Amino acid sequence: MSAVPPFPESQIEALARLLGECGSGDDISRVLSNRGLVDKSRQSTKWKRLYWVFLDCQQQNNCANQIIDFIQSFLAPARFAERNYEFEANRQHLNTILSFSGLEYGKDGKFRQCKIAKTLDEAEKKARTIRAKFQGRQIHPEVLKYCRPELLQDNYFHAVFEASKGLAQRIRDLSGVQTDGAALIDKVFSIEKPILAINSLQTETERSEHKGFALLLKGCFAAVRNPLAHGPKILWQGEDDAADYLSLISLLHRKLDECTVTGLRGD
C-alpha cells in the first residue's frame, strides 16, 4: 500500500480503544513485537498502550502505514475462526472509524480505498449491517440456523428467504405434516383438531389467540416468502426490511416454542 496520510489524534484514539477490546494484553504485545513496533509508553491499559505506540510510529514515519500494518495482523480473519460474528462486528466498527480517511477493511483482511465520509451519519451508513440492526433484539436460534451463511455475506434477500423456509420446515418437524404454505397452517393449527396448540383452547379468548397466530403464520408466508420466491432480487429493499422480517420470523419461532403437540391428527 502506498503512503497513508497520518490519522488525526482523535481517530488514533478511536482506533486504539476499539483494538484494545479485540484481544488480550499478551496478544497486543506479540503483534507489536512481530510488526517491529516498540511500546515505550509504560501504560497498563491496553488502549492507552496502543494510543501512544500509534502516535509515536506515525510521528516518526509521517504516515499511518505501520498502524495499518498492525491492524491487518491483529484483526486477521484467521484469528477469529469460529467467531465470525465477532470479526464482523469489529470490522464494521473499524470501518466506521477509517471511513473518515477513505479506507475500508475488507472481509478478506485487506485494505481498500473508499469514498471519504464527511459526517458521522455517512460513516455509520457505510458500516451499517444487518447484525447492527439486531442490537437489542433477541433473534431466535432457529432463525440463524437457516440463514447464518447469508447473514455473514450480508445477503439479506436470501437470508430472509431461507429463514422463512426454515419456519415452515420447523412446523413440519413439530407436527409431522408434510404439506406447505396455507394448507400446512390450516391443518396443523385447526381449531377443531389442532396438531399444535398455542394454548389450551378452552375459552373464546384462547381460541381467538390461536386463530390469530395461525393468521400471522399464513401472512408471513404470503407477504414474505412467496414474493421473495417469485420476485426479482433487484427489487429487494435491503437491510431495513430484512431486520424487520427476521424479527417477525423470530417472534413466530418463540411462539412455536410455547406450542403443545396435542396428539391429534387432522383429516
Task: Give the Cα separation of 251 and 246 in Å (integer).
Answer: 9
Secondary structure of residue 260 in the 3-state scheme: strand
Short-list 224, 192, 230, CA closest to 211: 192
Task: Give me the amino acid identity at 239.
Answer: E
Closest of 246, 84, 233 to residue 162, by C-alpha:
246
Task: Please provide the average confidence, as pLDDT, over all residues in the chain.
Answer: 85
Average pLDDT rounded to a whole number, residues 118-134: 61
In the chain, pLDDT over 70 holds for what percent of residues? 84
User: In sequence order, what are the beta bridge partners of 105?
Assistant: 111
> First-to-last CA distance in the chain?
69
Q: What is the pTM of this model?
A: 0.52
